[in-house]
Amino acid sequence: MPDYFSGTGDDGNTGLLGDQRVPKFHPRPAAYGALDEAAAALGLARALAGVQQTQQLIIEVQRDLYHIMAEVAATPKQAHRFRELGAERVAWLESELKRLGDQISMPKGFVVGGDSAPGAALDLARTIVRRAERAIVELAHAGELTNPPLLAYLNRLSSLCFVLALWENQRAGVVSPTLAKPED
C-alpha cells in the first residue's frame, strides 16, 4: 500500500507539521481543511472559467492557499518555518480587485448566484473562503496563529471571488445579475 495510506489517522487523530498530534476535530485541522475545500472549489471555478485571465488569477490564489495551509497545519512553534504569505500578497489581491472592479458594473443589491456556471462556482468558492476565514480568525483569537496578513488575505479573497463571479457572468453575456430582491 502506498505511504499515503498510513492508517495513522484511524484513531481519530492527525499529525501537525511538527511533532504534535491532535484530534481531527481540533480547530487547526478544521481550519486547514476549510482552506483545502476553498482551494478545491476554486479549482472547479478555474475549470469552468470562460476567461483565461480568471484561470491564471485563480491558480495563483490556489498556490497561495497551499502556502497558508502549510502554515496553519504547523504547530505554533514550527509555523514560522512555513510562513510564505505576507502583506505583499494582500497588496497584490487588492490591486487585482481594483483592476477587475474597474471593469464591471457593481449590482444595486444582493446577488443570487447562478447566472453562469463559472460565476456560480466562484460564488460557492466565496462562501467556502468565508468559512475558512472564520476558522483562521478562531485560531488567531486563541493565539494559535500570529501572521495577521493571513486574515487580511482571506478577507480580500472572498471579495475577489465575488468580483470574479460578476466578471465571469458579464463575459458570459449576463447583462445584469439576478438580485435577491427583484427590481420593480
At 108-166, the pLDDT tens digits run 889 999 999 999 999 999 999 999 999 999 999 999 888 999 999 999 999 999 999 99
Euclidean distance between CA atoms 98 and 156, whole angstroms: 11
Residue 17, φ and ψ in degrees, nearest 5? -70, 105
pTM over 0.75: yes
**Are 19 and 76 a contacting pair, CB within 8 Å?**
no
Cα–Cα distances (Å) from 3 to 6, 7, 18, 74, 95, in that order, read 6, 9, 19, 20, 42
Q: What is the DSSP letter of 86?
A: -
Of 9-13, 56-60, 126-130, 163-167, minimum mean pLDDT range: 9-13
> Does 6 have pLDDT greater than 70?
no
> Does 81 have pLDDT greater than 90?
no
Residue 1: inside a domain: no
Residue 4: inside a domain: no
Which range marks the domain in which residue 34 is found?
A: 25-171
Residue 116: inside a domain: yes
Mean pLDDT of 86-107: 94
Cα–Cα distances (Å) from 123 to 55, 80, 109, in that order, read 15, 32, 15
The structural domain count of the chain equals 1
Share of the chain above pLDDT 70, in %: 88
Residue 11: inside a domain: no
Residue 156: inside a domain: yes
> Does 85 have pLDDT greater than 60?
yes
Question: Which grid cell is 37?
Answer: 475545500
Residue 172's pLDDT is what?
93
Confidence band of 14 (pLDDT split at 50, 70, 90): low
Confidence band of 64 (pLDDT split at 50, 70, 90): very high
Residue 181: inside a domain: no
Residue 14: inside a domain: no
Euclidean distance between CA atoms 114 and 120, whole angstroms: 5
Of 11-20, 91-100, 168-177, minimum mean pLDDT range: 11-20
Residue 13's pLDDT is what?
64
**Are 163 and 97 a contacting pair, CB within 8 Å?**
yes
pLDDT (tens digit, 9 = 90+) per residue, 17-35?
677 776 566 788 899 999 9
User: CB within 8 A of 11, min separation 6: which ones?
Assistant: none
Least Cα distance to 150 among 96, 95, 93 occurs for 93
Residue 22 falls in which region: left (phi positive, over 0), alpha (psi -120 to 50) or beta: beta
Amino acid at 97: L
Using DSSP, state whether 109 is helix, strand or coil. coil
Residue 20: inside a domain: no
Residue 36's pLDDT is what?
96
CATH number for the domain spanning 134: value is 1.20.1200.10
